[in-house]
Amino acid sequence: MTDLSSWLAANAEALTRDAAAALSQNETTKAQVTASVQAFFDALTESARSARLEPLQALIAQWVETRTTPADDLTPVLTRLKQVIIAQICIRCAPEEAAEQLIALDKLFTNALVFLTAREQAALLDDLRERLANAEHQVEQLDKTKSDFIAIAAHELKTPLTVVEGYTGILRDLLSDNVQAAEMINGITHGLQRLRELMDDIIDIAQLDLGILALHFQPVWLHHLLEALEKDVRDSIVKRHLTFRIHYDTFPVEPTFGDPERLLQVLNKIVFNAIKYTPDGGSIAIKGRQLPGFVDLMVIDSGIGIAPDDLPRIFDPFSSSGDITLHSSGKTKFKGGGPGLGLPIAKGVLEAHGGTIWVQSDGYSEEETPGCTFHVMIPMHETPPDEPQMQRLNAAPRPAGT
């Protein structure tokens, strides 16, 4: 009985012809296909003769490497080649011999298919890794481009604004005796101030989104922050006839480490938000609660509250639920509109410190004024966090209730 390698060698010409016809109906490409098919049968014959898979595996590896795209599947090609050989065996061999040849052939092709699948998957994985690396590089470049744009935009926007503010100040001095002119200049100054605040907020939210907000850690005493906060909100509290009280005795006297300017920004955002949604004559209180590793700074107001449907999104950028007709009407006017950036900025700055913020409210009602309690979770750092510490803080579980 002829062994498989001898049978393959003896029938190589017919096998090559039939396989090339099965794989290509185009006469132009049939010559190229014929060369590849002949190389395959040479490798298959050598593997059958030597009982080693290396010749066949080497050819398959070459096929995988020279595919047009990593997604091209060569399994149908091997299947078609096997079908051609089986057909020729059935035609040219007696039943007993055909059975022996088919068993030997099946063993070779099974090993070839296993090897092909492994190589294709490895090649596909390598291609995906390369694509991922390229995508990550593109994202890094895009983030850098965004960061550079924000820096340039901040400079380009602030420079003319500073010039206008400077000339407005000069006009105020020159026209100090003209009451009508002074009123108009005060209006311009107020508008410029609002424009600068809005511009700063947009830049802050963009920096937070890109993770490039710079923090300057130093010792921070919460009592000092609260005193500065009280001065910042005093005029608005008086104008709105609100009762405002800070319970200093509920806060620790020990310092934490943080960026005092940014933490004061957080407190201003939260308290001015409370002022905006508390009717004239209402009250706002600030109390502290010491937790392991944190201080829970609570801003409690007697305002109109927050509807349950709005609670999940109040810390999302541009999610202000105020009346659109009230926008730009003033940041402390009752229910006055705004871009909806204050709370997201407060949340982002706190999270950059390793803290967080959350809110409680029994619902929305302008008649019953159920109010809100904002919980500002400030971490108490004994030393300035370095970069690895900040990464661990941001990944750590938040205190209960957040």
Confirm whether 401 is domain-assigned. no
- Mapping DSSP to helix (H, G, I), strand (E, B) and coil, where does residue 372 land? strand
- 164 and 224 share one domain: no
**Beta pairing partners, 243:** 283
Q: What is the rounded distance in angstroms from the CA atom of residue 200 to the CA atom of residue 220?
A: 23
Final residue belonging to a domain, choices 213, 247, 268: 213
Confirm whether 400 is domain-assigned. no
- CA dihedral (121, 122, 128, 130) in degrees, to 10, reads -160
Residue with the bigger pLDDT between 69 and 279: it is: 279
Task: Assess whether pLDDT exceeds 90 at residue 219.
Answer: yes
Report the percentage of the chain scoring pLDDT > 70: 89
User: What is residue 395's predicted lDDT score, i.e. its pLDDT?
Assistant: 45
Confirm whether 66 is domain-assigned. yes
Q: What is the rounded distance in angstroms from the CA atom of residue 176 to the CA atom of residue 168?
A: 12
Structure confidence by residue, pLDDT tens digits, 324-337:
444 444 566 776 66
pTM of the model: 0.60
User: What is residue 336's predicted lDDT score, i.e. its pLDDT?
Assistant: 67
Cα angle for residues 62, 63, 69 (degrees, 5° grid): 120
Confirm whether 170 is domain-assigned. yes
pLDDT band at 388 (very low <50, low <70, confident <90, very high): low
Confirm whether 248 is domain-assigned. yes
- Mapping DSSP to helix (H, G, I), strand (E, B) and coil, where does residue 79 land? helix
Residue 48 has which token pair?
Answer: 């059958």
Q: Which stretches within 11-94 are classed as H helix? A: 12-23, 27-50, 54-65, 75-92
Domain range holding 95?
1-213
Mean pLDDT, to the nearest integer, of 264-269? 96
Mean pLDDT, to the nearest integer, of 260-279? 95
- 201 and 230 share one domain: no
In 200-350, where do the E strands start and end? 218-220, 243-246, 256-258, 283-291, 294-301
Mean pLDDT, to the nearest integer, of 79-107? 91
Residue 326 has which token pair?
Answer: 């009230």
Confirm whether 402 is domain-assigned. no
Final residue belonging to a domain, choices 189, 213, 237: 213
Whether 84 and 22 have beta carbons less than 8 Å apart is answered as yes
Q: What is the rounded distance in angstroms from the CA atom of residue 215 to the CA atom of residue 99?
A: 78
DSSP label of 383: S
Kind plus residue range of the DSSP H or E element containing 375: strand 372-379
Residue 33 has which token pair?
Answer: 């296909």
Cα angle for residues 11, 13, 18 (degrees, 5° grid): 95
- 44 and 92 share one domain: yes
- 235 and 378 share one domain: yes
Mean pLDDT, to the nearest integer, of 366-391? 84
Structure confidence by residue, pLDDT tens digits, 349-366:
999 999 999 999 999 999
- The enclosing domain of 363 has a CATH number of 3.30.565.10
Mean pLDDT, to the nearest integer, of 278-307? 96
Whether 172 and 185 have beta carbons less than 8 Å apart is answered as yes
- 191 and 228 share one domain: no
Half-sphere exposure of 106 (CA within 13 A, CB side): 6
- 225 and 202 share one domain: no
- 183 and 67 share one domain: yes
- 118 and 62 share one domain: yes
**At a CB cut-off of 8 Å and minimum separation 6, what does 158 contact?**
196, 199
- 144 and 19 share one domain: yes
Final residue belonging to a domain, choices 182, 213, 244: 213
Residue with the bigger pLDDT between 386 and 271: it is: 271
Average pLDDT, the chain: 86
- 200 and 266 share one domain: no
User: What is residue 147's predicted lDDT score, i.e. its pLDDT?
Assistant: 67
Confirm whether 327 is domain-assigned. yes
pLDDT band at 397 (very low <50, low <70, confident <90, very high): very low
Half-sphere exposure of 365 (CA within 13 A, CB side): 9
- 191 and 285 share one domain: no
Whether 220 and 258 have beta carbons less than 8 Å apart is answered as yes
- Give the number of domains in the chain: 2
Kind plus residue range of the DSSP H or E element containing 307: none
User: What is residue 402's predicted lDDT score, i.e. its pLDDT?
Assistant: 41
User: What is residue 401's predicted lDDT score, i.e. its pLDDT?
Assistant: 42
- 353 and 325 share one domain: yes
Structure confidence by residue, pLDDT tens digits, 158-197:
788 888 889 888 988 888 888 888 888 888 988 888 888 8
User: What is residue 68's predicted lDDT score, i.e. its pLDDT?
Assistant: 77
Confirm whether 281 is domain-assigned. yes
User: What is residue 337's predicted lDDT score, i.e. its pLDDT?
Assistant: 62
User: What is residue 398's predicted lDDT score, i.e. its pLDDT?
Assistant: 44
Structure confidence by residue, pLDDT tens digits, 6-61:
999 999 899 988 888 888 877 767 777 888 889 999 999 999 999 899 999 999 99
pLDDT band at 319 (very low <50, low <70, confident <90, very high): low
